[in-house]
Each structure stands twice: as structure tokens, then as C-alpha cells.
């Protein structure tokens, strides 16, 4: 069984996730840590639970989701994976980071590209990569069919959806991604979003104001 641990980091209140199972192997999704105490919280949790991180996988490359990638990658000497379409958006972070008060963005290298339909494996866990563009053009989400959850990034939120006014964003594409890729998952699947608390596919199909 895969356990999902949520951390909320940086001024954007971004959710960073550590997924791990009984083998102790773990992946870190969207490490947004930037302050010393945030790194300590993440590293402390990993140490206390005896986890072995094996990869960083990202839903997309907006600044709030990548602030900690380079440091976490160095700390554990693990690969970083992102969808290729979001690579230019990762490279663009250094051009706008200072607008948000981050004057020295630590830019990570990408070790491999995530592709739609691939299965990310660690321990006994399998996560299906689904392609859900619209908030970011290379946005993906990670689905556990065994444990009925999706790490959805900034696509679908509790009673809301991701912004589409950022570079590369597109509202119609986002709506279509949610309709065809998220709402086709079973209703009981829990959605761990990039911001705010978790929800479920069934609840959002019924109550999300963007799909009335
Ligand atoms: Zn975003
Ligand atoms: Zn975000």
C-alpha cells in the first residue's frame, strides 16, 4: 500500500508530496521547499521514517513546484523527471523568480522525461502517468489504481480548477483534460492537489462550479 504524506511549502502554499510504501522506497513529487525549516521538515520526515527516496517526479514546472528540486536532487543524488513540454517553462523560472523575491533560483537539470501512459515504479508501487495540459502545457498527473488516488498538481482543486492565465495556459484545454482524463477515473479516487486540501473525483463531478 502506498502512503501519501503532504507538506505545504513556500509563500505560494504549494503542496509537496512524499509517496512511499512498505519497502521504504519513496518518490518526492513537486518539492517546493525553499526555507531552511521547510527542508528540515521534509528531510526529517524522510529520516524519521527510514525512507529511501529514489526519484523526484514533477506534475509541472511552475516556480512554486520546483523551488526545492535542485537541492533535494543533490541531497539524495536522485534523478528528476518532468514532461518534455514543460522544459522551457522550467528554464523560464530564472527569468521571473526575482519578481517573487527569489533572487537565486537553483535551476535543476532534468534527467529524464515523463511520458503519457508510462508507469512510474518504486518499491511495490505503480503510478500511471496521465497527460493533463491546460494549466501548464506539459502538465501530468500520477494515478495509483491500487490505492485509488491521483496526485493531480494544479489541474483540479476542491471546488475549483487551475489557472489558465499563466504562460502556456489554455482554459478550454484544461477543461477538456479534466473531463476526459480526470472525470473518467472512478468516483472514489482521492485527488491530492497542488494547493489546498484533497478532494475526490466523485465530489468534484457533482459539485465543481466549473462543470455545472
Ligand atoms: Zn502551477
Ligand atoms: Zn502551483
Q: Is the four-CA dihedral 61, 112, 146, 41 of positive or negative sign? A: negative
Among 146, 112, 141, smallest CA distance to 129 is for 141
**Phi and psi, residue 74, nearest 5°:** -70, -40
Among 36, 33, 46, smallest CA distance to 7 is for 33
Across 78-98, average pLDDT: 97
- The pLDDT of residue 86: 98
The mean-pLDDT minimum among 103-107, 125-129, 147-151 falls in: 103-107
Across 16-26, average pLDDT: 98
Environment of ion ligand 1 (residues, CB < 5 A): 62, 154
CB 79, CB 55: distance < 8 Å: yes
- The pLDDT of residue 150: 98
Distance CA 181, CA 203 (A): 16
Environment of ion ligand 2 (residues, CB < 5 A): 64, 154, 194
CA 45 to ligand 2 centroid distance, Å? 22
CB 169, CB 134: distance < 8 Å: yes
Alpha-carbon torsion, ordered 112, 106, 10, 131, to 10 deg: -20
- The pLDDT of residue 28: 99
CA 58 to ligand 1 centroid distance, Å? 11
How high is the mean pLDDT of the chain?
Answer: 97
Across 103-119, average pLDDT: 97
Which stretches of the chain are DSSP H helices?
36-48, 63-66, 69-76, 87-91, 93-96, 171-177, 201-207
Q: How many helices (H) and strands (E) does the chain have?
A: 7, 14
What is the per-residue pLDDT across 28-78, written as a single tens digit (0 to 9) for each?
999 999 999 999 999 999 999 999 999 999 999 999 999 999 999 999 999
- The pLDDT of residue 7: 98
- The pLDDT of residue 205: 98
pLDDT of 212 over the 90 cut: no
What is the per-residue pLDDT across 166-188, written as a single tens digit (0 to 9) for each?
989 999 999 999 999 999 999 99
What is the per-residue pLDDT across 138-149, written as a single tens digit (0 to 9) for each?
999 999 999 999
Distance CA 116, CA 119 (A): 9
CA 153 to ligand 1 centroid distance, Å? 7
The band of 85, judged by pLDDT with boundaries at 50, 70 and 90, is very high
Distance CA 39, CA 205 (A): 36
pLDDT of 151 over the 90 cut: yes
CA 50 to ligand 1 centroid distance, Å? 30
Distance CA 142, CA 60 (A): 11
pTM more than 0.85: yes
Give Cα 27 to chain centroid, integer Å: 11
Among 17, 19, 26, 30, smallest CA distance to 58 is for 30
Rounded to the nearest 10 degrees, the angle between the axes of helix 69-76 and helix 36-48 is 40
- The pLDDT of residue 130: 98
Amino acid at each position: 500500500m502506498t502512503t501519501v504524506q503532504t507538506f505545504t511549502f513556500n509563500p505560494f502554499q504549494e503542496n509537496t508530496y512524499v509517496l512511499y510504501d512498505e519497502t521504504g522506497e519513496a518518490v518526492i513529487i513537486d518539492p517546493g521547499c525553499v526555507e531552511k525549516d521547510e527542508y528540515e521538515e521534509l528531510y526529517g520526515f524522510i529520516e524519521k521514517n527510514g525512507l529511501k527516496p529514489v526519484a523526484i517526479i514533477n506534475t509541472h514546472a511552475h516556480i512554486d513546484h520546483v523551488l526545492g528540486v535542485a537541492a533535494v536532487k543533490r541531497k539524495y543524488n536522485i534523478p528528476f523527471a518532468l514532461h518534455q513540454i514543460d522544459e522551457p517553462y522550467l528554464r523560464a523560472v530564472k527569468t521571473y523568480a526575482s519578481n517573487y523575491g527569489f533572487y537565486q533560483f537553483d535551476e535543476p537539470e532534468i534527467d529524464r522525461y515523463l511520458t503519457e501512459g508510462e508507469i512510474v515504479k518504486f518499491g511495490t508501487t505503480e503510478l500511471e502517468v496521465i497527460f493533463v495540459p491546460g494549466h501548464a502545457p506539459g502538465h501530468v498527473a500520477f494515478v495509483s489504481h491500487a490505492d485509488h488516488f491521483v496526485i493531480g498538481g494544479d489541474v483540479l482543486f476542491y471546488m475549483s480548477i487551475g489557472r489558465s492565465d499563466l504562460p502556456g495556459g489554455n482554459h478550454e484545454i484544461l477543461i477538456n483534460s479534466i473531463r476526459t482524463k480526470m472525470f473518467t477515473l472512478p468516483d472514489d479516487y482521492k485527488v491530492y492537489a497542488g494547493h489546498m486540501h484533497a478532494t475526490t473525483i466523485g465530489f468534484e463531478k457533482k459539485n465543481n462550479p466549473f462543470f455545472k
